[in-house]
Amino acid sequence: MEKSKINLSKINLRYGILSLLVLLAAFSRIIPHPSNFAPIGAMALFGAAYFSKKHIGFLIPILSLWLSDLFINNVIYAQYFDGFVFFYPGFYWNYLAFALIGIIGFLLHKKTKFQHILAASLSASVLFYLVSNFGVWASGTMYAMSFSGLITCYAAGISYFQNTVLGDLVYCGVLFGSFEFAQYKIPALRFNPQPS
C-alpha cells in the first residue's frame, strides 16, 4: 500500500511538471515574437512523447493551446472580433495539424533521443505548413478554388515556414531538454510503472 502511494505521488509530480511546461509554452505565445515562431508543434510532440496515457498526451496540449488562443483572441486581438470568441474562423485546420503532430509525438514515446526529436520537429513543421495552408486555401476567401490557387497559397506560406521550423526546433529543445534535465536531477520524475 505504501509503495503504491509513492508511485502515485511520483506520477502526479511527473504529470504536474509536464502539464506546467506545456502550459508555459502555450502562454509564451503572448510574448512578442516573429510571425509563426511559436511552440505549437513542440507542445504537441512533447505532450505525446512524455505523458504515459495517450488521451492525456492529446488533452493537455490541446487544452493549453485553446486557453492561450482564448487569451490571444479576446485580449490581444479583441478589436478584430465582435464580442467574446471561443474559436477563431478556420481554427479546426490548425487544431487538426496539432492533433496529427501529436500522433508523430507518440512515436517518440521512450525514444527521446536528439535525432528522433530533430526528425519529429522538422516533420511537425512540414505537416503544420501543409495542413494550415490547405485550410487557408479551402476557406475560399483569399485564393482561387483551383489547383493553381492552392499552389499560390502554398507559395505565399513559404515566407512563414522558416520561422515555423525555427520555432519548433527552439521550443522542442527547451521543452525536451528541460524535462530530460529535470528527470536527471529529480529521479522521482522518471516514469516507472513497476513498484521500486
In a domain, 194, yes or no: no
The 3-state DSSP class for residue 193 equals: coil
Q: How many other C-beta atoms are found inside a 10 Å radius of the C-beta of residue 124?
A: 28
Count of structural domains, the chain: 1
Under DSSP, the state recorded for 39 is S
Q: What is the DSSP string of 76-115?
A: ISGGGSSS--SS-TTHHHHHHHHHHHHHHHHTTTT---HH
Q: How many other C-beta atoms are found inside a 10 Å radius of the C-beta of residue 53?
A: 10
Closest CA to 48 of 10, 101, 91, 93: 101
In a domain, 170, yes or no: yes
In a domain, 6, yes or no: yes
Q: Position 120: which residue type?
A: A
In a domain, 196, yes or no: no
In whole angstroms, give the CA distance from residue 69 to residue 147. 31
pLDDT per position as a tens digit, 37-52:
999 999 999 999 998 8
In a domain, 195, yes or no: no
Q: Which domain holds residue 46?
A: 2-189
How confident is the prediction for the chain on average, in pLDDT?
Answer: 88
In a domain, 125, yes or no: yes
pLDDT range class, residue 193, cuts 50, 70, 90: very low
In a domain, 62, yes or no: yes
In whole angstroms, give the CA distance from residue 134 to residue 151. 10
In a domain, 14, yes or no: yes
In whole angstroms, give the CA distance from residue 126 to residue 92. 17
pLDDT per position as a tens digit, 41-86:
999 999 999 988 889 988 999 999 999 999 999 999 888 888 899 9
pTM of the model: 0.85
